[in-house]
Amino acid sequence: MGNPRVRDAPKHERSGADVSLLYRRGKDAYQKGLYSQAGREFRELLRTAPHNGGAWYYLGRIHFEQRDIGTAIFAFRKAAIFSPDNPNASNWLARAEMRAAHAGLSPSVDAIPAEIRTLAQSTLTDVAELDMTARYKIARDLSEIASPEIKEAPPKKARQRLPKRQIGVSAKVQEEKKRPGEPKKRRAVGDLARFAASARKKKPSINALGIYAHELLDAVLASAAEARASLGELDTEQHLGFADHLAEKGKIAEAAVLYRALFLLTRNRDFCRRLVSFLSEQGRPIEALRFLREIQNAYPAQYWIYVLLADFFVGVRKIKAAEGALRAGLKNLPEEPRLLSRLARLLANERKWDEAINIWREVVYANNDRRQAFQEIAGCYRKAGNYERAIFEYRGALREDATNEKLYRGLSVALRQSGRGDEAVATLREAIRVSPHSLAAWGELIYCLARLEQIGDARETLAAARDRYGSEPKSLSVLARAAERALLDDEAESMLSDTRLDTDGRLEARRELGRFYLRQGRVSDADSVLRALAGKASCQNSLDEEFRQIDQIREVLEIGDAGETCEIKIPEDGISHITQRRRFYRQTPCVPGRVAIVSTNLAAGGAERQATLTASCLSRLDAEVESVSFHTLSLRRGARNDFYLSTLRDSGIVVTRSPAAELGYFASHPRIEPHIRLLRLLPEDLAVATATWLIDFEERRPEVVHTWQDFASMGGTLAAILAGVPRIVISTRNTRPDNPYRRLKRYMHRAYSCFLNTEGIVLSNNSQTGATDYEQWLGLAPGNIEVVRNGLDVARLDHDRDLLAPEEIRKRLKIPSNAIIIGGVFRLSGEKRPILWVEAAALIAKRFSNAHFVICGDGTMRREVIERATDLGIEGRVHLAGVQSPIAPWYRAMDLFLLASRKEGMPNVLLEAQCLGIPVVSADVGGVREVLEQGVTGWAIPDADALSLAERVNWCLDHPEWLHHARHAGSELVRGSFSVDSMIKRTLSLYRLSPLVEHQTVNADV
């Protein structure tokens, strides 16, 4: 009987072929009904290969046929473990379990034949664990068997074309449909799932699995003696705790099935949400989506399933799919306010402001509680840059809810952003009057005062709030956060170091102080403070996240263990780490001659104008430049960040912007993932900029990256280093950043120093004055910073000058034909000192009664300018023309140009005015003296105030012969010394590309 050479060979001498032979012999014997012979063959096989799931399966079938149910169950469990892809093992185990339950049997391990137990000892001895795993395998198979794609039983005419097995199943389905009530629970589980799913089209699979879920839970929990002992009496929360226990032990599949069963038993959407979140976290999003779709088909009238679907799609960054899910829900549930609100927030997060506003208006009509919708509408207008409409909406909402301090805070932000700082402060004081205990309102007032550079008032307000509410640790923490946000770091540190608090208060304050140091990037100080608290029982567990951050920072920077004495400062040390490892980053082969230009946006500013001019000119140099691309963070139209966008596109230049404002959006991007831990050491805005441009540079592979202005230079340079770009040119403008409420960031000094010590990076400025100032700031010897003076597109100015006649401009502004026009072209913001300009205009108006004053430009201080002009009695003679393009005709309408800026680099507006024959008077700041000939083409006034500026303008108007001479001299100066050709040649020399062919003319279109 059998092959003696196979049966008598020692185990270690048997080959895979021998095992296969034993398997075939056993299977053949089973199919012939020779169960005893088949059992001997399979047992012999299992002595050699105890993990052979097929052998365990047939051994189970043999004992099942012999009505030895206990042994069959044991064998089927082993088969389900070792052959997880074989659904027959799970189905037969289910049948055996149901047969045992029907007969009232309780199979035990002792009842299993000793020979079978011996075979199992070499694989898995924990019978309870085996039982649990096998049962969950059944449930997984059930979820696959009972899919949501249920088809009706085939019609009788079509049965001829079906296989016999399918015809039999269809007949059983029809039979089950005729029976009222649910199928008998004692039917085999596999059949139960199939029949219930087929018979109930509107409740596919859920009903079947729900019937089984309770038995499943009882069986599993009963088999896990240790877990049951710890849980005590079973209830829903304990089941949930057991699911969490399984997840913690790494039993992912089992935990997922238990979460699912809990939802099916309770119909509690929190369990559904938990399951989806769990599956997503475990990297099984397809399974999570399949489950959500099944629930959606079962409960199409439940709003929350569409919300869960949208949240799931947002989590995997499928925003269009999320929007589609919510809109599908609204088709089934029209005007459901919760779906409308979720859709509106989704659209707002994607910066689709108009669509979001329209949806919120639907919420207003669909819901009686309209206050939240009005607040969200106002917020959308504010974030879109439409501040006046936002203010209107906020005030409308306050008429309905005059005690809502959140509305006051939103209104104050809109007022501050629109340049109405005093009104913003007054609004916040009203919010505090309405809700005096709102620390959020106090914090916003402190921040608003600091942003308006009223530092003394900000400190006084902080002190008043501290005296009133600072005795409680939580209040103290909130106020310290407000001080930190207002850049009052010393005050924040002092508050958190307060020794007057009681013992518990001091512990809480010290803990917050450690977190403050961590947010400030003072890692060493944070480590010292937090480790001193680590021994306190009340603090030990709550500091795990902070210690994890500190350890991660040390690991990323390769500094060493926490016990080492080493001062760490973030982001400075992170930036230094990136620059020091430049040579280790992957050197992507660049495209020769390809240039990438980087700027924060394309607003109507001087730096943006020069960057656009440079890009447009380079794009025409086919002999030296392969292609040019322009990379920004924002092109938001509401904030006028796209002013030069059409110019670049007309030149055929690719323009990109950041797709998101949070680093988490980029975390899983394949080009960002290798650097994500380094990027997390940077401030959020800098990390987003770096990630955005790193992706762009990896894709375009430029030979040169040219960055403009301080912040864009930080992110653009770091991105270029990480992308392996060989040459980086940094263009700074004006003088050093010195105001923390405007340009200055703490890390900039260290970053520039690191950049200048890195190979392949060169720093430039657009004026000698600016270059010298940066050199002094960074401690560099003279000549370390290159000078590339602004270029002026003379041809474009000459083309545009006659597009609008001066008489037409006077008519438009209602200025008499015999009036003198003193003009200015500048942004209405603090660094341009528009209030000083208006005060000088008032003094000039006293001397010349026919003088009118025209400002081309816009900004946050527009309202303040109007109010100051009104106070001085010249409101009818000050004309705010707004941003004008083309600007050349407006220069020609002026008799004299006046500039009162606090800081300048090399002002483009002075070059343009002189080029078109307009004499200039300017405050002597930055590189102003480099763009005019003192006393010949214009005047630079040292320590300029309103009186000194007005006196010089009056002198010019009193000397018409000087004005005549200055018109000609200024035009000759600019046309001869500030050409586009000179600027481009100098720029190319920094790129280390071939210079322009001699006498080649560069025609820009800016």
Structure confidence at residue 568 (pLDDT): 83
Burial of 544: CB neighbours in 10 Å, binned 0-12, 13-18, 19+:
exposed
Q: Hey, what are 754's tokens?
A: 């690191």
Mean pLDDT of the chain: 79
> How much of the chain exceeds pLDDT 90, in percent?
38
Q: Where are the beta strands (DSSP E) in 755-850?
A: 761-765, 786-787, 820-825
Sorted by where each starts, the structural domains of the chain and their CATH numbers stand as 4-123 (1.25.40.10), 166-266 (no CATH), 330-557 (1.25.40.10), 574-630+642-653+685-787 (3.40.50.2000), 805-978 (3.40.50.2000)
Q: What is the C-alpha separation between 481 and 465, in angstroms, rounded?
A: 13
Q: What is the C-alpha separation between 667 and 679, in angstroms, rounded?
A: 10
Please list, in sequence order, all residues whose beta carbon lies within 8 angstroms of the beta carbon of residue 20, skipping any fewer than 6 positions away. Answer: none
Structure confidence at residue 689 (pLDDT): 94
DSSP class per residue in 361-401: HHHHHH-S--HHHHHHHHHHHHHTT-HHHHHHHHHHHHHH-
DSSP class per residue in 528-548: HHHHHHTTSTTTTGGGHHHHH
Contact between 75 and 82 under an 8 Å Cβ cutoff? The reply is no
Q: How confident is the model at residue 834 (pLDDT cuts 50, 70, 90)?
A: very high
**β-sheet with 920-923: strand ranges across:** 878-880, 851-856, 820-825, 896-899, 920-923, 938-941
Q: Hey, what are 820's tokens?
A: 């003198």
Is residue 504 classed as helix, strand or coil in its secondary structure? helix
Higher pLDDT, 563 or 988: 988
DSSP class per residue in 865-884: HHHHHHHTT-TTTEEE--S-
Name the β-bridge partners of 899: 922
Lowest-confidence segment of 526-535, 538-547, 908-917, 933-942 by average pLDDT: 538-547
Contact between 861 and 928 under an 8 Å Cβ cutoff? The reply is no
Q: Is the pLDDT of residue 197 over 80?
A: no
Contact between 622 and 657 under an 8 Å Cβ cutoff? The reply is no
Helix (H) or strand (E) holding 792: none
Number of Cβ atoms within 10 Å of the Cβ of 695: 21
Q: Is the pLDDT of residue 729 over 80?
A: yes
Q: DSSP state, 316?
A: T
Please list, in sequence order, all residues whose beta carbon lies within 8 angstroms of the beta carbon of residue 93, skipping any fewer than 6 positions away. Answer: 60, 73, 76, 77, 79, 80, 134, 138
Helix (H) or strand (E) holding 706: strand 704-708
CA 502, 508, 514, 518 dihedral sign is negative
Q: Is the pLDDT of residue 289 over 80?
A: yes
CA 596, 597, 600, 601 dihedral sign is negative
Q: Is the pLDDT of residue 962 over 80?
A: yes
Q: Is the pLDDT of residue 130 over 60?
A: no
Burial of 747: CB neighbours in 10 Å, binned 0-12, 13-18, 19+:
buried
Higher pLDDT, 797 or 220: 797
Name the H helices within 122-163. 127-145
Higher pLDDT, 294 or 727: 727
HSE of 291, CA atoms in CB hemisphere, 13 A: 29
What separation, in Å, do the N-terminal and C-terminal C-alpha atoms of the chain show? Answer: 97
Q: Hey, what are 593's tokens?
A: 């001659």
Q: What is the C-alpha separation between 117 and 130, in angstroms, rounded?
A: 13
Residues 357-394 have pLDDT tens digits of: 999 998 888 775 677 888 899 999 998 888 889 999 99
Higher pLDDT, 919 or 175: 919
Is residue 233 classed as helix, strand or coil in its secondary structure? coil
Contact between 376 and 361 under an 8 Å Cβ cutoff? The reply is no
Peptide bond between residue 571 and the one before it cis (omega within 30 degrees of 0): yes
Residue 731 φ/ψ, nearest 5 degrees? -105, 110
Q: What is the C-alpha separation between 653 and 620, in angstroms, rounded?
A: 10
Q: What is the C-alpha separation between 273 and 263, in angstroms, rounded?
A: 9
Kindly list the distances between the CA atom of residue 673 and the CA atoms of 169, 587, 656, 694, 723, in Å, as whole numbers in the listed order.
51, 17, 21, 11, 13
Contact between 666 and 658 under an 8 Å Cβ cutoff? The reply is no
Q: Is the pLDDT of residue 630 over 90?
A: yes
Contact between 952 and 687 under an 8 Å Cβ cutoff? The reply is no
Q: What is the C-alpha separation between 968 and 949, in angstroms, rounded?
A: 23
Kindly report the pTM of this predicted structure: 0.65
Structure confidence at residue 117 (pLDDT): 52
Name the H helices within 470-582. 473-485, 489-496, 503-520, 523-533, 544-557, 572-580
Please list, in sequence order, all residues whose beta carbon lies within 8 angstroms of the beta carbon of residue 506, skipping any fewer than 6 positions away. Answer: 498, 499
Contact between 836 and 920 under an 8 Å Cβ cutoff? The reply is no
Average pLDDT over residues 702-711: 94
Q: How confident is the model at residue 866 (pLDDT cuts 50, 70, 90)?
A: very high
Q: How confident is the model at residue 131 (pLDDT cuts 50, 70, 90)?
A: very low
Report the alpha-carbon angle 716-717-722, nearest 5: 100
Average pLDDT over residues 92-102: 69
Among 24, 16, 17, residue whose Cα is nearest residue 42? 24
Q: How confident is the model at residue 261 (pLDDT cuts 50, 70, 90)?
A: low
Q: What is the C-alpha separation between 235 and 233, in angstroms, rounded?
A: 7
Strands 786-787 and 820-825: unpaired
Contact between 40 and 79 under an 8 Å Cβ cutoff? The reply is no
Strands 761-765 and 727-732: parallel
185-188-194-197 Cα dihedral, nearest 10 degrees = 10
HSE of 231, CA atoms in CB hemisphere, 13 A: 21
Residues 664-701 have pLDDT tens digits of: 888 888 889 889 999 999 999 999 999 999 999 999 99
Q: What is the C-alpha separation between 645 and 719, in angstroms, rounded?
A: 23
Structure confidence at residue 148 (pLDDT): 32
Number of Cβ atoms within 10 Å of the Cβ of 20: 11
Residues 578-599 have pLDDT tens digits of: 998 887 776 668 889 999 999 9
Q: What is the C-alpha separation between 271 and 261, in angstroms, rounded?
A: 9
DSSP class per residue in 802-861: TSS-HHHHHHHHT--TT-EEEEEE--SSGGG-HHHHHHHHHHHHHH-TTEEEEEE---TT
Contact between 1000 and 622 under an 8 Å Cβ cutoff? The reply is no
Structure confidence at residue 199 (pLDDT): 34
Contact between 294 and 204 under an 8 Å Cβ cutoff? The reply is yes
749-750-751-753 Cα dihedral, nearest 10 degrees = 90
Number of Cβ atoms within 10 Å of the Cβ of 581: 13
